[in-house]
Amino acid sequence: MATTAALSTTSTTGLGLSGLSSGLDTSGIITKLMSVESAPQTALKTQLSSTTTYRTALQSLNSSVAAIATSAKSAAAANALSSFTATSDTSGVTATASSTASAGSVSFTVDRLAQAQVSVTGTMTAWPAPADGTTTPSITLQVGSGTAKTVSAASTNLDDVVAAINGSGTGITATKVAVGSSNGVPQYRLQLRGATGDGNGFSVYQGDTTSAPALATTQTQAAQSAQITLYKGVAGAEQQVSSTSNTFDDLLTGVDVTVSAVSTSTATINVAADSTAATTAAQALTSSLITLFSGISAASAISTTTSSSGTTSATSGSVFTGDSIVRAVNDSLLSAVSDAVNGTSPSSIGINLTKDGTITFDSSKFAAAMASDPAGTTAMFQTIAGRVASAATGASDSYTGTLTQKITSQQSTESDLTKQISDWDTRLATIQAQYTSQFNALETALNSLSSQASYLTSQISGLTTNYQTSG
pLDDT in tens, 375-430: 899 999 999 999 999 999 999 999 999 999 999 999 999 999 999 999 999 999 99
Integer Cα distance of 443 and 27 in angstroms: 12
Q: Give the mean pLDDT of the chain.
A: 89
Please check the confidence at residue 282 and state whether its pLDDT lies above 70: yes
What pLDDT is attached to residue 466? 60
Tell me the mean pLDDT in the region 33-38.
88
**Nearest 5 degrees, angle CA 294-CA 298-CA 300?**
115
E-state strands within 297-372 = 302-306, 313-317, 351-353, 359-361
What pLDDT is attached to residue 467? 61
The single-letter DSSP state of residue 5 is P
Please check the confidence at residue 33 and state whether its pLDDT lies above 50: yes
Of residues 129 and 290, more confidence is placed in: 290
- Sequence-separated (6 or more) residues with CB below 8 Å from residue 289: 68, 333, 337, 359, 388
- With the CA atoms of 320, 324, 327 and 331 taken in that order, what torsion angle do they form, in degrees rounded to the nearest 10? 180
Integer Cα distance of 153 and 143 in angstroms: 19
Please check the confidence at residue 302 and state whether its pLDDT lies above 90: no
Please check the confidence at residue 444 and state whether its pLDDT lies above 50: yes
Q: How confident is the model at residue 23 (pLDDT cuts 50, 70, 90)?
A: low
Q: How confident is the model at residue 457 (pLDDT cuts 50, 70, 90)?
A: confident
Of residues 435 and 172, more confidence is placed in: 172
Residues 46-77 as b/e (b if ≥16 CB within 10 A, e otherwise) read: eebeebbebbebbeebbebbbebbebbbebbe
What pLDDT is attached to residue 78? 81
Please check the confidence at residue 18 and state whether its pLDDT lies above 60: no
**pLDDT digit string, tens, across residues 206-252:** 999 999 999 999 999 999 999 999 999 999 999 999 999 999 999 99
What pLDDT is attached to residue 22? 55
Please check the confidence at residue 7 and state whether its pLDDT lies above 70: no
Q: How confident is the model at residue 451 (pLDDT cuts 50, 70, 90)?
A: low
Across 3-12, 73-82, 152-161, 431-440, the highest mean pLDDT is recorded for 152-161
The amino acid at 201: G
In sequence order, which ranges of 158-274 are alpha helices (DSSP H)?
158-166
In percent, the amount of the chain with pLDDT more than 70 equals 89
Integer Cα distance of 172 and 168 in angstroms: 8
Integer Cα distance of 51 and 46 in angstroms: 9
What pLDDT is attached to residue 17? 47
Please check the confidence at residue 352 and state whether its pLDDT lies above 70: yes
Please check the confidence at residue 12 and state whether its pLDDT lies above 70: no
Lowest mean pLDDT among 74-83, 276-285, 456-465: 456-465
What pLDDT is attached to residue 11? 39
Of residues 111 and 16, more confidence is placed in: 111
Closest CA to 226 of 117, 112, 116: 112
Q: How confident is the model at residue 3 (pLDDT cuts 50, 70, 90)?
A: very low
**pLDDT digit string, tens, across residues 49-104:** 999 999 999 999 999 999 999 999 999 988 888 888 999 999 999 999 988 898 89
Tell me the mean pLDDT in the region 362-373.
93
Lowest mean pLDDT among 74-83, 159-168, 299-308: 299-308
Q: Are strands 202-205 and 138-143 parallel, antiparallel or unpaired?
A: antiparallel
Are 171 and 143 within 8 A, CB to CB?
Answer: yes
Are 263 and 88 within 8 A, CB to CB?
Answer: no
